[in-house]
Structure 1
Amino acid sequence: MGHREDLLEGAKKCLVEKGFARTTARDIVNASGANLASIGYHYGSKDALLIQAFIRLAEEWGDAVTPDVTGEGGTLDRFTSVWEGILGRQDQFTAMWAASTEIALAPDRMPELAAMLSASEGEGRRGLVALFTGIPEEDLGEDDVRTLGALYQAMLTGVMLQWRFNPETAATAADLTEGMRRLAGALTPGTRPKPAPEAAPEAAPEA
């Protein structure tokens, strides 16, 4: 590998071990075997390098989940399969979610990193839509990314936070699928569950 790839691998290692805020340029240099000047030459800044490292981790996450996904795009079977793949690997990618949460919860502490991560979120949303729907990324329109992508991103972020805070009560793939089924039913005319009939009043006792 050249210095550029060495730096990227070193930055990935630092993200996993220390997160965004505690990783210094010197940490990346020590982890990669490159030199300080090469960070600026290849990536412009330490923050830009860390964002590229985060994107690479996210791509590796997607590559790990995708092969096991089954079911026709847009069906509950595929919805379940995607979540099983995600949650089945959540321990493997805990550090990536921790790094993302770190910036999301304190963007004012790392404004440049937050801005860079925000600028790259469209790429992440596009990948999520493709994962859940089975539609190739290149065939998705900007409206798909803006709407479906935002929805899937919100779901993914919320579920990962649940697992980070309390794995024992966090939603499972089955929980999410049943929740989606109920939501779809409630929003579809003619399929909303009917309220239970009120109990008949008890007859007054005879005198």
Structure 2
Amino acid sequence: MGHREDLLEGAKRCLLEKGFVRTTARDIVKESGTNLASIGYHYGSKDALLVEAFIALVETADGFDEAPAGDSGAKGGGPRDGSLERFEQVWANILRGFPQSRSIWMLTFEVITQGERLAGVRDLLVKAQGEGRSGLAALFTGIEESVIPQDLVETEGRFYTTLLNGLMVQWLFDPESATTAEQLTEGMRRVMGRMSGA
């Protein structure tokens, strides 16, 4: 590994141990075995490095790379793409991964609640949020992320992100009473039925 990769791995460990606000450039250097100048050279700033490390952690959170049962690939086949069955299976996979990824979700809420103190990195985080919407939309619809229409990302992707954030809050507060994939799907079924007059 080169300095760039060492810094990223060191920053990830620091984020999980100390959080976003309390991690210093010196912490990252100590953890990565590099030097202060490397941060500026490879990432521009400590905050930019931490954002990249944060995004990398979220991308590796358990449950988001697991295809619904019966899928032939990571994002297609199996239950009909966009179906309620797929909706339930994807949420079940995500929720199953929450215990292993708890520290990442706690970090997410630190970033959200400390937004004013992290104003310098807001643009980077907003961009990452857009990429997250795209990934979620692809996961639920079965459409490859590289070809997913932008209007779908801006509608369904936002919808799934909103549900994810709500589930995260519930799960972090009390996993025992948090909404299950089955409950979420039944709620969706009933709302759809009411709206269609069924």
**Is TM (by shorter chain) over 0.5?**
yes
Partner of 1:65: 64
Instruction: Give CA deviations for 1:124-163 in whole Å, capped at 9, x if unaligned.
Output: 1100001111100111122111111111111101100111
Q: Distance in 1 between matches of 2:184 and 2:68?
A: 16
Alignment of 1:69-148 (within 5 A): 69-70=68-69, 71-148=79-156
Q: Distance in 2 between matches of 1:89 and 1:143?
A: 29
The residue identity in structure 1 corresponding to 2:177 is T
Q: Distance in 1 between matches of 2:121 and 2:80?
A: 37
Q: Percent identity?
A: 53
Q: Distance in 1 between matches of 2:68 and 2:29?
A: 37
Partner of 1:156: 164
Partner of 1:18: 18
The reply to whether residue 48 of structure 1 matches residue 56 of structure 2 is: no
Q: Distance in 1 between matches of 2:48 and 2:26?
A: 15
Q: Distance in 2 between matches of 1:113 and 1:157?
A: 20
The residue identity in structure 2 corresponding to 1:5 is E
Instruction: Give CA deviations for 1:169-196 in whole Å, capped at 9, x if unaligned.
Output: 11011111111111111111x31xxxxx
The residue identity in structure 1 corresponding to 2:163 is M
Partner of 2:193: 185
Name the TM-score, length of structure 2 as normaliser: 0.90
The reply to whether residue 169 of structure 1 matches residue 168 of structure 2 is: no
Partner of 1:27: 27
- Tell me the CA shift for residue 101 of structure 1: 1.1
- Tell me the CA shift for residue 112 of structure 1: 1.5
Larger radius of gyration: 1
SS in structure 2 opposite 1:67? coil
In the alignment, is the contact (CA less than 8 A) between 2:66 and 2:93 conserved in 1?
Answer: no
The residue identity in structure 2 corresponding to 1:137 is E
Q: Distance in 2 between matches of 1:168 and 1:65?
A: 21
SS in structure 2 opposite 1:22? coil
Instruction: Give CA deviations for 1:32-61 in whole Å, capped at 9, x if unaligned.
Output: 111111000000001101111111112212
Partner of 1:195: none
Instruction: Tell me how many residue pairs correspond in the alignment.
Output: 189
Range with greater deviation from structure 2 (109-118 or 6-15): 109-118
Name the TM-score, length of structure 1 as normaliser: 0.86
Q: Distance in 2 between matches of 1:164 and 1:181?
A: 25
Q: Distance in 1 between matches of 2:190 and 2:157?
A: 21
- Tell me the CA shift for residue 24 of structure 1: 0.9
In the alignment, is the contact (CA less than 8 A) between 1:103 and 1:113 conserved in 2?
Answer: no
- Tell me the CA shift for residue 167 of structure 1: 1.4
Where structure 1 has 5 or more consecutive residues not aligned to the other structure, the ranges are: 192-207
Where structure 2 has 5 or more consecutive residues not aligned to the other structure, the ranges are: 70-78
